[in-house]
Structure 1
Amino acid sequence: MNGTIRTILVDDEPPALDELNYLLSAHPDVDVVGTAASAAEAARTIAAKRPDLVFLDIQMPGRDGFSVLGEIMELEPQPLVVFVTAFDEYAIRAFEENAVDYILKPVDPRRLAASLDRVRKRAGADDGNDAGEMLRRLLAGAGLKPGVTRISVEHGGRNILLNPREIAYFNYENRRVHAVTRGQVYPCSCDLTLDRLEERLEGFPFFRANRSQLVNLALVRTYAPWFNGKYVLTMNDGAETEVAVSKGRVRAFRDAMEL
């Protein structure tokens, strides 16, 4: 950065964008070159403007902020990222080693100033920890991987793309794999198998519970011992679906959940 920090703001709430823009106006070296109200708009704006810094909201309707991170991995140079989010403290601790900073909403001006100081120091440091490596570690910490990974499913005569993070589990039934989200079941492409899904979703928190079900560990609400050495999981899918972990997979489940 040559004195000026070219910055883009991403948030689906106009008042939040206006407030952050106003607070940043107190910092003469910050030049807000664009704003975006959705993940798709953010990816386009970042690619067009090539900013030094992005203030990024995570929780947005449809595609979330993590999908933006996946798309900007290919850009050169890659921007630094600061999250401005309502994520709780536990979630923040999971990423605090891998992003420039986190700011909780509502934004405190003093906290924003401290974050900008971190940005300036990171931009001026020559420690080999570049923005690209930070983004890769951030995606890994979020259970994601570089690039845009989506699962194609059928709905209403059309193909739609699902973010793996919104899928509670995959179920193999009647010779076909189905993706189950909160309140909806989607058939996947006819040639897709659970084995192929496991390979494709490497790096995401999916676990093969049994022969016919692949579950998202991030959406397991409860677990309990069951009969014959099995476990039963209750999924956070709206219907509180129960999924059995086969006896031979119980140890792997406990290891995956660090129990």
Structure 2
Amino acid sequence: MSEKVITALIAEDEPLLAQSLQRELHQLWPELQTHIATDGLQAVEQALSLLPQILLFDVRMPGQSGLDAAQEIAERWPPNRSLPLLVFITAFDEYAVKAFEQAAIDYIVKPVKPQRLQQTLERIKHQIHISAGIESAQSAIELIVNSSQDESQLSALRTLLRTPPDTPIAAPRLQRIQASVGNQIVIVPLSEVAYFEAADKYVRVLTGIEHAERELLIRTPIKDLLPQLDPNEFWQIHRSTLVRASLIDAVHRDEAARMSLSLHGRSEKLVVSRLYAGLFKAM
């Protein structure tokens, strides 16, 4: 039985850097099959088409960052397949890089040095047991990249998404929301908000405590709201949804193992993506 080729997807918007990284990978791991995406949007589509075992993503890319692309891939990844191993390539300084260290996701600082890249590849090879002489590379991947490792990667990605390395640590906490209702601007205390949900160019603000079923609109993106909210008070359950944790009534799972939840004071069910499903394992 022939050994399945291991595939890596490089996401880098600088063509010369992408080609240089591809050459270095070929020299250090000739059997590795590599593909290049030139931005975050293309990286998502290629990843979901190729289903590579390894992702090497530049953090900063036009259109969609490497972090955002990794988040979308995790949420749209086939549920019956293990997640790819994720490595970030970053130009951040030594202080911002600590965020990647604490999140336990491997990273490489630009300019990429062959010695550092080789360390990363050796770590990957060890993780998929290539050096252990397992007959099939595919069986090795299935053994090591299991649900436990998936959750470890998802937990690390959640940490980075909550406070990206280039976000000020001491971001001021929101106390109230200025939102649109028709032609009016209204001030809503944060304590009245049940959840936030991204919708096209806006974010919907749904209340459910004193103003049941009320809906307002703001322009602040979800990713910019996150650092301004208490993580113990508001939980992200999807790349487009933040919910007040204290209002969660129940978590539901359907026949396909997809999760959703219901909130006190609201009638709808909200989808929980694969990236955030681990938050509800104890429920």
Distance 1:60 1:113 in 2: 24
Mapping 1:50-199, distance limit 5 Å: 50-74=51-75, 75=77, 76-124=81-129, 126=144, 130-144=148-162, 172=178, 174-176=184-186, 191-192=215-216
Match of 1:30 in 2: 32
Distance 1:131 1:90 in 2: 27
Contact 1:100 1:122 in 2 (8 A): no
Distance 2:146 2:202 in 1: 45
Q: CA deviation at 1:202?
A: 11
Distance 1:79 1:121 in 2: 15
Aligned partner of 1:112: which letter?
L
How many residue pairs end up in the alignment? 175
Gap regions ≥5 residues in structure 2: 130-142, 188-200, 206-214, 231-283
Change (3 A) 1:201 1:97: closer
Aligned partner of 1:55: which letter?
L
Match of 1:8 in 2: 9
Gap regions ≥5 residues in structure 1: 146-164, 178-185, 209-259
Aligned partner of 1:59: which letter?
R
Distance 2:90 2:102 in 1: 16
Change (3 A) 1:17 1:207: same
Aligned partner of 1:23: which letter?
E
Aligned-residue sequence identity (percent) comes to 28
- 3-state SS of 1:81 partner: strand
Distance 1:128 1:50 in 2: 16
Match of 1:205 in 2: 227
- 3-state SS of 1:56 partner: strand
Q: What TM-score, normalized to structure 2?
A: 0.52
Aligned partner of 1:175: which letter?
I
Contact 1:176 1:187 in 2 (8 A): no
Aligned CA RMSD, in angstroms, stands at 3.7
Q: CA deviation at 1:83?
A: 1.0
With CA pairs under 8 Å and 6+ residues apart, which has the higher RCO, 1 or 2? 2
Aligned partner of 1:109: which letter?
P
Q: Once the two structures are superposed, what CA deviation does each residue of 1:94-146 show, in whole Å capped at 9, x if it has no partner?
A: 2224444211111111111111001111223749675522332222211449x
- 3-state SS of 2:70 partner: helix
Q: CA deviation at 1:43?
A: 0.4
Q: Which runs of 4+ in 1 moved over 4 A?
A: 125-131, 168-171, 186-190, 200-203
Q: What TM-score, normalized to structure 1?
A: 0.56
Q: Once the two structures are superposed, what CA deviation does each residue of 1:144-180 show, in whole Å capped at 9, x if it has no partner?
A: 49xxxxxxxxxxxxxxxxxxx8xx9885164258xxx
Contact 1:39 1:64 in 2 (8 A): yes
Moved more, 58-67 or 122-131: 122-131
Distance 1:202 1:87 in 2: 19
Distance 1:31 1:188 in 2: 40
Distance 2:223 2:126 in 1: 36
Moved more, 14-23 or 97-106: 97-106
Distance 2:177 2:38 in 1: 34
